[in-house]
Structure 1
Amino acid sequence: MPKYIMWGSYCEDVLEKRTPYRQAHLDGLAKQKESGVLMTIGPTKDVTKVFAIYEAESENVVRQLVENDPYWQHQIWTEYEIKEWIQAL
């Protein structure tokens, strides 16, 4: 199955603004991880970018996951891009 990386950006004052949506966001990620579609996700240390690796049938599946996330729906993530990834090692 293809793998995809997602790079995204966080809004200003993310640590404050994410609070009302954080638990729903984490619960959704846990379900994705359990199902095997999400391999890993996390912010950069300065909390300006988010990085994720997915294993999914298509880029469209990944886009749906990102766009259904509370962080996207409430503008905590302000932009993202997805690229198919070839794992060399």
Structure 2
Amino acid sequence: MPKYIMWGTYCEDVLEKRSPYRQAHLDGLAKQKESGVLITIGPTKDITQVFGIYEAEDEATVRQLIENDPYWKNNIWTEYFIKEWIQAF
């Protein structure tokens, strides 16, 4: 199955603004991880960007997961892009 990377950006004052949505966000990510579609995801140390690796049937599936995430729906993630990734090692 193809793998995809996702790079995105966070809003200003992310630590404060994410609070109401954080638990629902983490719960959703846990379900994605359990199902095998999410390999890993997390913020950069300065909390300005997010990086994730997914394994999915197609890019549309990854976009749907991202756009249904509470962080996207509530403008915590402000933009993202996806690229199909070839894991060399």
Q: Cα deviations across residues 29-64 of structure 1 (Å, max 9, x unaligned)? A: 000000000000000000000000000000000000
1:2 CA displacement: 0.0
- Give the alignment's TM-score, normalised by structure 2: 1.00
- Give the alignment's TM-score, normalised by structure 1: 1.00
* Residue aligning to 1:47: 47
Alpha-carbon distance in structure 1 between the residues aligned to 2:71 and 2:84? 22
What is the identity, as a one-letter code, of the residue corresponding to 1:10?
Y
1:80 CA displacement: 0.0
Q: How much identity, in percent, do the aligned residues show? A: 83
1:82 CA displacement: 0.3
SS at 2:8's partner residue? strand
Alpha-carbon distance in structure 2 between the residues aligned to 1:87 and 1:54? 12
Which segments of structure 1 move beyond 4 Å, counting only runs of 4 or more?
none
* Residue aligning to 1:16: 16
What is the identity, as a one-letter code, of the residue corresponding to 2:87?
Q
* Residue aligning to 1:35: 35
Alpha-carbon distance in structure 2 between the residues aligned to 1:40 and 1:80? 16
1:17 CA displacement: 0.1
1:69 CA displacement: 0.0
* Residue aligning to 1:85: 85
* Coordinate RMSD, CA, aligned: 0.1
Gaps of 5+ in 1: none
